[in-house]
Chain A
Amino acid sequence: MAGIFIFSEDPQLAQQLLTPGLALKASLGQPLVALTASSADAQTLASLGADRVVMLKAARTTPEALAPAIADLLAKEQASVVLVGGTLRGRHLAAHVAAALKAGMTTDAKVLAIRDGKLEAQRILYAGLAVCEEVVALPAVATIPQRTFLAPAAAAQAGTVETLEVQADARVVVESTTPVESEGVDITAAIKLVSVGRGFGKKEDLFLARDLAGALKAEISCTRGVAEDEHWLPIERYIGISGQTVKPELYLAVGLSGQVQHMVGCRESKVIVAVNKDEQAPIFEAADYGIVGDLYQVLPLLTAALKS
């Protein structure tokens, strides 16, 4: 049977997975099969190049609850490559599937190819300090982060859709689910960002960054410490390995030291500017332009200069 299988509970991510899936189909000459628990997604995935879509019906359809059933299905179908959308739930599912298939797995792969009958992937190590090539024997599992690939164009011929009743894993009982309150700001779409760190003494002082952002027509982002420890800004604005990844035209970092865990989220920005009072801070090595100085003095001057 064999085949390349994709799964993501996130509709956009599921579509994006078809792009590397189609490339693997071309290299391996095996059908591309999409698994989904949503009937709306099933039709879309069939129209975008999946040869087959298996629509899973179960009492519970979170990826974690579907993991054992998906693992059984993939073992039966003798899957050669399994691509899973790299959400947190997706990573849980993928690791379960990899263990059940006795398969190697690469987490958050950026580039995928088949070479010498193995899956070659690129991913980061040491929180972004290094990049490595990883070679995974087949069957192989990979998680792929959001927006790594664009969704493919509509296929000439739509794939088939079939329904499969499966048993959900009900051992973990979900008592309630609460959506995270969102301001609805997508900082990954911002063209310019003013990013703040704990060089600011208190939350009230962030107006200095807001004024600067206003003058630049920029959005505000921040470090993990500012969002998670200080709670000065919402989680969705923090940049870093466990937060957002951004590629703006301008990334203006104020009062943040530039630790590798933060920089991995912004280092593909076109221009990076740093304002920091510590000349030894690593942010200056990662910056195109920088000012060594007290942000409380520099920011008002910079805002005024940009306005005039």
Chain B
Amino acid sequence: MFEQITSNKRRSVALVFAFVLVVVAVVWAFNTLIGYGVSGLVVAVVFAGGTAALAYWKSDAVALRMSHAKPADPEQYPRLHNVVEGLCIAAGLPKPRLYVIEDDAPNAFATGRNPRHAAVAVTTGLLDRMNRIELEAVLAHELSHVKNYDILVSTLAVTMVGVVVLLSDFGMRFMWFGGGRRRDNNGGGGGPGAMLALLGFALLILAPIAAKLMQFAISRRRETLADVSGVALTRYPPGLIAALEKLKEDQTVVRSGSRATAHLWIESPVARKPEEGRLAWLGKMMDTHPPLDERIEALREL
């Protein structure tokens, strides 16, 4: 458990560095194509650093806002508050802020930068459909994410991956419109200039893919880990098994769930398409969550 916390903190630092590197590389590629020189690079470094800092302090707010989460009123949702308070006693954690999302699809996620600044959001669908024991199991899973610092890594990833995707989108579009001018100025090109341009172009395409893969690599194994440490809190595996079964049966999809926040949720909020044929392995690699069947199976073995 403690190794996981250290590894998560280390991972967060690595993530921030990778992010700054990718942003600088993208801007550099962009620069090579358009040509702004060193000043552009300085702006890029400042921008990347600023975004990373902002992501650390504010990414939980971003994630909550993106999913249209509203603070959960203790009067209106006494059960949610009671269950979380109980689990926090068991885990020795401070109580996180609680949010509710108006959505029929049962799902939940945790966010924040450390246990003292954590938030847990659940959909109304989850509150309606789960009984107390199942709700407890789901929330124990979320609190394990909080305790293990998974929230820090994954929430940082939300914000920063979003920025990278946005940036390269922007770069692509800029190239379609502004690229022509540069070609006129330099006249034909060829040699190192063209090579650099090609490299820049490759980077522009690769950046979002790399960012996505990074995001997926972060999330999958820790879902199973959080399942197991959640059960260590409730001491009752059948509770989580029942909850996951219910999530599996349910086909509704969270409306405000997007690919950017997918890895935060307990179950993937994006529709899972039946993957067949040659591209199945690719789909599996890009999935943010291990299949529910695998997770249920792992719990049965406890």
- Is A bound to B? no
Residues of B within 8 A of A (CB): none
